[in-house]
């Protein structure tokens, strides 16, 4: 059931190589996250498809109030997870060309997803879109905010059993590629992130995020 990310090949864009981090068990995956990520984001696996299936009202949130999340090291560099923050990508777009291309290809027509955690809203899915909104100078971004009950409903057995498959599928969304027969229009990657987020967030997602189930970072 587990999909393995392709190994980087000669001539492959550096940004694509950054997706080639090796697989890790869930406990190891959590341990890989820097302390600041573990303190900030929910450290439980969640299902990106259950997240997308939620029918929640869309709100407009101030981009400025969420910008602090872009300082989290959610994305990969040289195949190593949690080495690059979205803020670094914005500051050095030429250095992180692969990440920047994914940011600019993300679709702001899709609301980002957030949940309350430790008295603050944090992004589960949508770090690429959030960064794009800051780059474009947008004051607000469309968002869906999960209640604790909503969040509990997406922390199901699929995400716990298949963190890497869910993470890989979520990280492929923005490319128009499919990791299986199911396809969905591009939103962005997911730290988080979805999941495993680069994603993002932490979808088993970051997330790249964060694949967007474990947050990595989306």
**24-34 tens-digit pLDDT:** 677 888 889 99
Range of the domain at 65: 14-215
The tally of domains found in the chain comes to 1
CA-to-CA distance for 18 and 15, rounded, in angstroms?
5
Within a domain: 178:
yes
Within a domain: 123:
yes
Any idea which residue has 């590629």 for tokens?
177
**195-212 tens-digit pLDDT:** 333 344 445 433 333 334
Are 14 and 33 contacting, i.e. CB atoms less than 8 angstroms apart? no
Using DSSP's 3-state secondary structure scheme, residue 107 falls into coil
CA distances for 172 relative to 54, 76, 91, angstroms? 20, 15, 24
CA-to-CA distance for 25 and 5, rounded, in angstroms?
14
List all residues 6 or more positions away from 156 whose beta carbon is below 8 Å from its beta carbon: 46, 47, 50
- Residue predicted with more confidence, 21 or 9: 21
pLDDT tops 60 at residue 170: no
Within a domain: 44:
yes
CA-to-CA distance for 193 and 213, rounded, in angstroms?
7
């Amino acid at each position: 059931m587990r999909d393995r990310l392709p190994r980087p090949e000669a001539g492959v864009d550096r940004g694509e190589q950054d997706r080639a981090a090796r697989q890790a068990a869930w406990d190891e995956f959590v341990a890989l996250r820097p302390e600041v990520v573990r303190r900030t984001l929910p450290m439980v696996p969640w299902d990106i498809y259950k997240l997308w299936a939620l029918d929640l009202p869309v709100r407009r949130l101030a981009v400025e109030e969420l910008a602090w999340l872009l300082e989290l090291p959610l994305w990969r560099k040289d195949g190593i997870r949690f080495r690059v923050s979205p803020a670094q990508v914005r500051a050095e777009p030429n250095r992180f060309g692969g990440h920047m291309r994914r940011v600019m290809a993300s679709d702001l027509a899709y609301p980002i997803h957030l949940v309350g955690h430790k008295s603050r809203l944090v992004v589960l899915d949508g770090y690429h879109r959030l960064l794009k909104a800051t780059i474009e100078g947008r004051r607000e971004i469309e968002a869906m905010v999960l209640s604790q009950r909503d969040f509990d409903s997406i922390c199901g057995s699929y995400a716990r059993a298949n963190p890497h498959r869910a993470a890989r599928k979520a990280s492929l969304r923005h490319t128009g590629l499919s990791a299986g027969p199911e396809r969905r229009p591009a939103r962005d990657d997911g730290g988080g992130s979805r999941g495993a987020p680069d994603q993002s967030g932490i979808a088993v997602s970051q997330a790249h995020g964060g694949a967007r189930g474990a947050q990595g970072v989306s």
